[in-house]
Amino acid sequence: MNKRVYNFSAGPSMLPVAVLERAAAEMTNANGTGQSVMEMSHRSKDFKPIIDHAEAMLRELMEIPGNYKVLFLQGGASLQFPMIPLNLAVREDGKKQKVTYVDTGVWASKAAEEASKYAEVRVAASSKDKAYSYIPEAPAPDTEDVYYHITWNNTIVGTKWNKIPNTGSVPLVADISSCILSEPLDVSKFALLYAGAQKNLGPAGVTVVIIREDLIKKVPDWIPTMLRYEIHAKEGSMYNTPPCYGIYIIGLVLDWMKEQGGLAEIERRNREKATLLYDYLDQSKLFRSPIRKEDRSLMNIPFVIGNADLEAQFVKEAAASGLVNLAGHRLVGGMRASIYNAMPKEGVLALIDFMKQFEAAHRS
Ligand SMILES: *Cc1c(COP(=O)(O)O)cnc(C)c1O
């Protein structure tokens, strides 16, 4: 293959070509330093502006209030599953504290399961009864909850929350790995937001944590230093070597977003792309979306035919046409098109075109 494909992978996923080209141009000599960002000491005067820029751009585009810290960590979103309860719910006397989770899919249930090692987890609602095809009504928090956790966009099944649950004074925590900066989100309504970078922000290896300062507290001594928000916040994400190159690419991706017209324009494009695909699915005689209309994700769009052989053939033929990674998650089957910020409208139109041809050939 000597041209770029439209990559519908759920993550790692497409990055804007302009970002890749800029990174290539700066590969051996970044900002006139005579070195690659990969070669810089993280404590040098050359790297400092790079991490500061990434943070400043994130603050600007997400409108992050001043009383929140932005951390660039490692270990993926999956390491936040235990870090959140370890930092917010563990007490010196060892008594397990109450937390609430809403189970909207595989990642949400993994987060709850991991938390149950350190906290008294109540799974207050679940959409497992209908294969996670909808977002349940958010139950009220328990008055004793130390936090309340949701997964804003459910990458595998393709649902998303449309309303921020009202948890009163209970801190609201959300996994936004697969939807960060896809549309505006009122950060001030959340106590903690986290996202692995490899879906909408940059390469794998960086996790962004946005945490309200009053939640950053000293934790019991047995909790490993590397797992403490307090340490990472105090050290400006430089307690140890941060994922320098990934942070640099995040800065470039955020520059690109701003050049495109900022989050409002990115949201407009995302809605346009998703609407094109859902509208086609809703009138198709071959394909359909299994997801309740009002809960559909803008980023991850699963669809099915209901015939595993035909679905496998679709995925294979699509790949041969330069539309790659359309197989659904191994746990759910079918197909899934992940159309993150970097997926151009042309990619979605090419997919719909291909689906129309496939439908014409296989409609009985
Ligand atoms: C991909 C994903 C994860 C896991 O991310 P890792 O960085 O691989 O640990 C967790 N939550 C959601 C919503 C995801 O999409």
Per-residue pLDDT tens over the stretch 24-79: 999 999 999 999 999 999 999 999 999 999 999 999 999 999 999 999 999 999 99
Query: What is the DSSP secondary structure assignment for residue 140, as one 8-state letter?
Result: P
Active site residues: 107, 175, 199
Q: Is residue 2 pLDDT above 90, yes or no?
A: no
CB atoms within 10 A of CB 270: 23
Residue type at position 32 = G
Taking Cα atoms as reference points, which of 187, 178, 177, 181 lies closest to residue 75?
177
d(Cα 182, Cα 75) in Å, to the nearest integer? Answer: 23
Residue of the nearest CA to atom 13 in ligand 1? 177
Q: What percent of the chain has pLDDT over 70?
A: 99
Residues with a CB atom less than 6 Å from ligand 1: 11, 76-78, 107, 151, 155, 175, 177-178, 196
Binding site members for pyridoxal 5'-phosphate: 77-78, 107, 155, 175, 198, 240-241
In the reported structure, the alpha carbon of residue 76 is separated from the centroid of ligand 1 by a whole-number distance in angstroms of: 7
In the reported structure, the alpha carbon of residue 236 is separated from the centroid of ligand 1 by a whole-number distance in angstroms of: 23
pTM of the model: 0.98
Binding site members for L-glutamate: 43
Per-residue pLDDT tens over the stretch 3-27: 899 999 999 999 999 999 999 999 9
Query: What is the DSSP secondary structure assignment for residue 253, as one 8-state letter?
Result: H
Q: Which helix (H) or strand (E) holds 211?
A: strand 207-212
In the reported structure, the alpha carbon of residue 297 is separated from the centroid of ligand 1 by a whole-number distance in angstroms of: 15
Show the domains of the chain with their CATH numbers: 17-259 (3.40.640.10), 262-362 (3.90.1150.10)
